[in-house]
Structure 1
Amino acid sequence: MTTRARDQRHRPYGADPEDRGRHAAALRGAERVLSRPSADRTTGESLAALTAAAAEVHDPDDGVDVYGDGVVAVLEERVAGLLGKEAAAFFPTGTMAQQVALRCWAGRTGDATVALHPLAHPEVHGQSAFGALSGLRTVHPTHERRLPTADEVHEHPEPFGTLMLELPLREAGFVLPSWQELVDVVAAARERDAVVHFDGARLWECVTHFGRPLDEIASLADSVYVSFYKSLDGLGGAVLAGPESLIAEATVWRHRYGGRVFQQYPTALSALIGIDRELPRLPAYVAHARVVAEALRKGLHTVGVPYARVHPEVPMTHQFQVWLPRSAGELNEATVRQAEETGTALFRRWIAGPVPDLAYTEVTVAAAGLDWSADEVHDALVDFVRRLPPHA
């Protein structure tokens, strides 16, 4: 699939700006949702929330950051400690952080080939940036909709300098290996003299599945990237953590890539707030996501939607997919109508699948969804399905 085709497939709205605006307004105005991402807020609401909570995580009388000192340095130290790494560097985006990390590892290993899954974020959403900007080449140990196994890594016919593992693998349904499988695949990479990098944009939410603390999970990798807006409700930003020498080199490349930003205190403050508020709640979100997924699975069976699927049946994080045999346009219209007419938005945005009349949505269960009972999920699903046109 071409990059353009992938971008079209992942575009959640139609081409009409009016449709996009109506969809966004319906989600923002819904009174009942399973999650309330920061992107649903108005500018005023976001500023008010940040101002109200900032003093809880940082001295408001401290000067603003300048080129990465102050609160940004505090955040770097905090995340390095959480992940058990020697050092960390803040980046404006995860895309830049991973470009820099893998470029640095390529220079150190002498091998610019990166082994990763074809559904990994850089391959699906990266606009061929690895090759275009960093001179990196990618190979795929597996094409299965899961992380590669130790055997697949060990037996891959081409050499590679870095194994990159996205935890969880979003496009495959936010899936994870077992702890032992992860340990084994890392060991297989080491046997090939490859370094290991974790794309941990959502690593925060993996603790429940692995049954291990963050630092033990991160200890398996030579470097780890984490995001602050995907699980922690921050405004944006990312951190790359690893050995002190790697991070020192990464800060040089960060400047070269245009990531040495004059002031970033709002983003850094929101990240610290997320670490304090959202990180401790993630296990509860994961537990309730399993309740919601089971209610959806049973409800779809009850209302008799053919070929519908909740994937995975038991979520491994607080996010999972729902697949339905309808076009994305029909499903998005039903989503908007349900939100506008009932004040409830069970789903958010539907994405066209690989074949006509098949689409999926990503379900996230966060604080706003904790008070939904299984019966309420079922009733909202029945109401949603009633809004779909008859299946041809």
Structure 2
Amino acid sequence: MADSDTLETERTRLRLTCRHLAGNGPARLADEFEAIAAWLRQHGDRLVGAEPVPGLQPDVYGTGALVEDFEAEVAALFAMPAARFMPSGCMAQPIALRIWSDRAGNPATAFHPTSHLELHEELGYRHLHGLTAHLIGAADRPTTAADLARAIGPGGVAGETGLASLLVELPAREIGGQLPTWEELVELGDLCRANGIRLHLDGARVWQAAPAYGRTLAEIAALFDSVYISFYKDVGALPGAMLLGPRDFIDEAATWQRRQGGTLYTAAANVVSARMHLAECLERMPRLIVRARQVAALFAAHPRASVLPHPPHTSMFHLRLDGERDELLQARDRVARETGIWLFANLKDIDGQAAVKTELSMGPSSLLLDDAELAAAIALLLEDGSPSDGR
């Protein structure tokens, strides 16, 4: 076996056997499917004596109580009129922007320069839906009303045609989970309404935003015309998403979902997974925000480390470490062997600097590590990085 294969095998072993700082920790996919099967047996058809008792049946092409009850439950959580379960946000969000553009007779939308739609979806909004996107605001901070005012004002990028919609991500992942202040968000919503611009929420991680603001999900959603949420980020379920908005908007979105092949014969496993995990996510999220700030402070106590933003706005942040990538990965492995703690997965080089960065998003596993052992692991990581004697 090549040295590189041996190294990756060892790293896989460490990743699967250590306690994780970020995320949900190592998990066996079979465990999730066994839990889904148990849920379905509990809620599905059963016999009482000799008489069959009907239960929830698998959804069929997006219809049926299994999915429709869950859609109604989530719509109520956000105080939105209706909701539609979809396979992914990459499908749901461009559909939302397409509907708002069609209704306005204007293909122009706008979002942050680091939006997932711009960076990670092969420009699907353009190629599939014929939309034109304006990137507004600075790439290192949230979008503000001042950014929008400049974009739609005289000489602005959207000054001639205006905008049908604006997409805002809460929190914004690519800038460390930053949030605008509540007052800035309200001001942005007011400006959109005053100019007939539909405001759409990229709420992939909105579960973090509610306790960070000290607001309910319904209070946040009230500022927006449509909302997208994810069930595998933070919730920890199998892949799945939901689009929320007015009833006629959701009916139209369902048509677009069918046009794009997104209305599967059944999505029962994904729906059940989301239903099982959502309540736990909502319960633990306030604690995870506190935990992110504690963990960030432990890293920031070292001169070779810095965090963005500091303190974290939500349950995630970006970590910057001085040093070479390979050296720090070797140090991470050493920490894992000696302490049983897996501090992070990957590191990315920072252009032009002898430094790297990674994203840390707190999940249930972070709550199982006490500060003393985590502080010792971080101190070991940020020593000179050379292996200890005999290793």
Partner of residue 46, structure 1: 32
Contact 1:27 1:336 in 2 (8 A): no
Give the C-alpha shift of residue 328 in structure 1: 3.5
**Alpha carbons 2:339, 2:377 under 8 Å: kept:** no
* Long gaps (5+) in structure 1: 1-15
Cα deviation per residue 1:192-244 (whole Å; 9 max; x = unaligned)?
22110000000011112211100010110000000001110111100000011
The answer on 1:88 being equivalent to 2:83 is yes
Provide TM-score, normalisation by structure 1. Answer: 0.87
Would the alpha carbon gap of residues 119 and 232 (structure 1) be closer, same or farther in structure 2, given more than 3 Å must change? same
Matched with 2:320 is 323
Select which of 365, 368, 372 maps to 1:368: 365
Q: 2:299 aligns with which of 279, 288, 296?
A: 296
Q: 1:220 to 1:18 in 2, by over 3 A?
A: farther
**Does the CA contact (< 8 Å) of 1:149 and 1:185 recur in 2?**
yes
Say whether residues 1:33 and 2:28 are aligned partners.
no
CA distance in 2, matches of 1:49, 1:23: 28
Q: What is the RMSD computed on CA atoms of the aligned residues?
A: 2.2
- 1:143, 1:74 → 2: CA distance? 41
Deviation at 1:24, TM superposition (A): 4.1
SS in 2 for 1:79: helix
Aligned equivalents of 1:24, 1:65: Cα separation in 2: 37
Q: How does 1:70-219 map to 2 (within 5 A)?
A: 70=64, 71-156=66-151, 157=156, 158=158, 159-219=162-222
8 Å CA contact 2:299–2:306 kept in 1: the answer is: no
**Alignment partner, residue 65 of structure 1:** 59
Q: What is the CA-CA distance between 1:377 and the residue it aligns to?
A: 2.2
Alpha-carbon offset, residue 164 of structure 1: 0.4
CA–CA separation in structure 2 for the residues paired with 1:191 and 1:209: 27
* 1:36 Cα deviation from its structure 2 partner: 4.5
Could you tell which deviates more after superposition, 225-234 or 188-197?
Answer: 188-197
Q: Which amino acid aligns with 2:32?
A: S
Give the direction of change, closer, same or farther, for the CA distance of 1:275–1:357 in structure 2 (3 Å limit). same
Deviation at 1:347, TM superposition (A): 1.9
Work out whether 1:386 is the aligned partner of 2:383: yes
Aligned to 2:311: 314
Counterpart CA distance in 2 for 1:19 and 1:77 is 48
Deviation at 1:341, TM superposition (A): 4.4
**What is the rounded CA distance, in whole Å, between the counterparts of 1:24 and 1:101 in structure 2?**
39
- CA deviations 1:97-128 (Å, max 9, x no partner) are 01111111110111111111111111111112
Structure 1: distance between partners of 2:262 and 2:189: 30
Q: Secondary structure at the match of 1:262?
A: coil
Deviations along 1:29-79, one digit per CA (max 9) or x if unpaired, are 21x2224537x32232222343455678x5574222211123121221111
Q: Which amino acid aligns with 1:240?
A: L
Q: Give the conservation status (yes or no) of the 8 Å contact 2:137–2:143.
A: yes
Structure 1 or 2, whichever has the larger Rg, is 2
Q: Give the Å deviation of 1:351.
A: 2.2
Corresponding residue SS for 1:134:
coil
The secondary structure found in structure 2 opposite 1:160 is: coil
Following the alignment from structure 2 to structure 1, what is the Cα–Cα distance between the partners of residues 259 and 208?
A: 32
Q: What is the CA-CA distance between 1:340 and the residue it aligns to?
A: 3.9
Q: 1:331 to 1:219 in 2, by over 3 A?
A: same
In structure 2, C-alpha distance between the alignment counterparts of 1:29 and 1:125, rounded to whole Å:
31
Bigger CA drift: 232-241 or 157-166? 157-166
Letter in 2 for 1:206: A
Q: 1:106 to 1:357 in 2, by over 3 A?
A: same
Task: List alignment gaps of at least 5 residues for structure 2.
Answer: 46-54
